[in-house]
Every structure is written in C-alpha cells, then in structure tokens.
C-alpha cells in the first residue's frame, strides 16, 4: 500500500515505479532484480522515488554530478543508519550485509551520472552482487539511461524490468491541482490547455497551476477558465529566444535643456 498524500499516490509515474519495485520484491528465485526507470527531466520521476521510499521503506540516494565512490557509499550508509568506516570494499560489504538482513529496495536517482566513470558502474554492480541479487536495485535517470546501459552488458543484462516514465496527462494534472491549486475550480478548457503547453512535464504543469492561483487571487474568483486567463503567457518549459543585438543597444533620447538663466545679485 502506498503511504503518502492521496493525490500524489494516484500519479501515473508513482504507480509505475511502485509497481516495478513490488514486482522485483515478488520475483521468483533466480530472476534478476534490477530495474531501470527512465524519462525526460520534469516528468515526476523524483516524486515517484520519494513515494516509493516511504511506501516501500526503500533506501534512496541521489547521485550528484560530482559523485565519487566514497561519496555514494557514505550517502547510502547514512540513509541506512550505518556508520561509514574503512575502505570502499568494506563499505560495500557493510551495506550488502544490512540489505540482506533487512531486505529493502535500493533506489539510485539521477543514475545517468554513474556512467561518467567505469568505477561508478562497477561499484553499482558490486553492491548488487554483494547483496546476493536478492535485493531490488532500481536505477532512475534521464531518457538516455537505457542507451547508456546497452554499452555495459554485465549491468544491462541484470535489468529485468524496464519502466519508461509517462507524460503528464489530464488525470495527473487534476491530481496535481488538488495539491498546487486547492479550493479552486478549474475549467476543463483551461486544464486541457495547461497540459498541452506543458509538453508532458509534471513540473511545468505545477508551475502553471501556481500561476493559476495568482490569477484566481488577483481576480478575486475561485473559478478560473480560459477566458479569465486571457492572454497571459503559459509556462511551457522553454527559454526566451535570443535577442537581436540591435535591440540590446541603449536607447538614447535627446532632451533639450532649458537655457541657463543668470541670477541677479
């Protein structure tokens, strides 16, 4: 059972990741227990990880771009309540022993950064192997993560469940509205437009819902439709187009000064 905010629990990608983790936990003996959850930035993967962490009592760590083997191992130890000491192999053994004794899924978020180093890839495989392949390990990352995995056969072959993140659609948007725009009635036409311009990004839907709250507050209304939104721009995840250099030049406007007047003494 997913233990979290009801609206969050109903999000498509939350259910996708939670189901994948449960599938690995229930896998028969002999089946590999690694999964890959991948999708574009902003599609709600990290939210899904947070829910799985709570609902499944999972060990969850986020990989920074500047990750090192020691940093990752110490991060895992910290989450598991293990005092990190000794060499990297010793830390792997400590973590694996704890996972075997108290089986919990291990979720590694932003896993695409592991593939910048063969040592980090090997470390991930070592953790999995040291735990006897009985503990689910879920790699979460950007859309190119499966492509990166294809080049690492001894890791790719351990992936038994592939989970592509799904774009944010109307059902998800209504769930997000309960969180980011509570007590506001949103017309169907406006919600459809928000989903359309957000291009599948749950994060961008959130940004538009927060702006919708401002529109409701400024208009003094609790019902917002496309007509009330008017010509206000929507967040679409894009960036402003490059400006013409000519437009960046300072505007010089000549101001005629009043003639100086002498002051009689």
The closest alpha carbon to 56, from 110, 2, 126, belongs to 2
- pLDDT band at residue 262, thresholds of 50, 70 and 90? low
The 10s digit of each residue's pLDDT in 227-261 is 999 999 999 877 666 777 777 777 767 666 666 66
Per-residue pLDDT for 96 more than 60? yes
The answer for residues whose C-beta is within 8 angstroms of residue 86's C-beta and 6 or more apart is 94
Q: Give the integer Cα–Cα distance in Å for 69 and 158.
A: 21
pLDDT attached to residue 157: 93
Per-residue pLDDT for 2 more than 50? no
Assign a CATH topology to domain 170-229.
Answer: Helicase, Ruva Protein; domain 3 (1.10.8)
User: Burial, 18: exposed, middle or buried (Cβ in 10 Å; 0-12, 13-18, 19+)?
Assistant: buried
pLDDT attached to residue 238: 72
Second CATH level (architecture) for the domain 6-164: 3-Layer(aba) Sandwich (3.40)
The 10s digit of each residue's pLDDT in 7-62 is 787 899 999 999 999 999 999 988 999 999 999 999 999 999 999 899 889 999 99
- Asked if domains 6-164 and 170-229 share a fold, the reply is no
Distances (CA, A) of 197 to 23, 227, 258: 34, 16, 53
The domains of the chain are located at 6-164, 170-229
> What pTM, to 2 d.p., does this model score?
0.85
The 10s digit of each residue's pLDDT in 171-217 is 999 999 999 999 999 999 999 999 999 999 999 999 999 999 999 99
pLDDT attached to residue 177: 95
Contact 168, 205 (CB under 8 A): yes
């Amino acid at each position: 059972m997913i233990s979290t905010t009801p609206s969050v629990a109903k999000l498509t990608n939350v259910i996708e990741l939670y189901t994948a983790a449960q599938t690995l936990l229930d896998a028969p003996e002999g089946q590999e227990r690694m999964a890959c959850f991948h999708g574009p930035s902003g599609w709600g993967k990290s939210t899904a990880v947070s829910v799985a962490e709570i609902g499944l009592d999972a060990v969850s760590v986020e990989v920074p771009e500047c990750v090192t083997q020691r940093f990752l191992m110490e991060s895992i130890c910290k989450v598991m309540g293990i005092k990190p000491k000794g060499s990297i192999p010793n830390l792997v053994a400590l973590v694996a022993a704890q996972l075997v004794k108290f089986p919990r899924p291990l979720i590694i978020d932003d896993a695409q950064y592991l593939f910048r180093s063969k040592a980090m890839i090997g470390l991930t495989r070592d953790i999995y192997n040291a735990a006897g392949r009985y503990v689910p390990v879920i790699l979460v990352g950007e859309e190119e993560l499966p492509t990166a995995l294809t080049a690492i056969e001894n890791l790719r072959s351990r992936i038994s469940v592939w989970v592509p993140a799904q774009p944010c659609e109307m059902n998800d948007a209504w769930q997000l509205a309960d969180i980011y725009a509570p007590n506001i009635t949103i017309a169907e036409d406006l919600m459809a437009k928000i989903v359309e311009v957000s291009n599948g990004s749950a994060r961008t839907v959130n940004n538009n819902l927060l702006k919708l709250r401002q529109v409701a507050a400024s208009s003094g209304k609790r019902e917002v439709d496309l007509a009330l939104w008017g010509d206000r721009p929507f967040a679409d995840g894009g960036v402003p187009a490059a400006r013409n250099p000519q437009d960046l030049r300072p505007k010089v406007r000549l101001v005629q000064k009043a003639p100086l007047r002498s002051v009689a003494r």
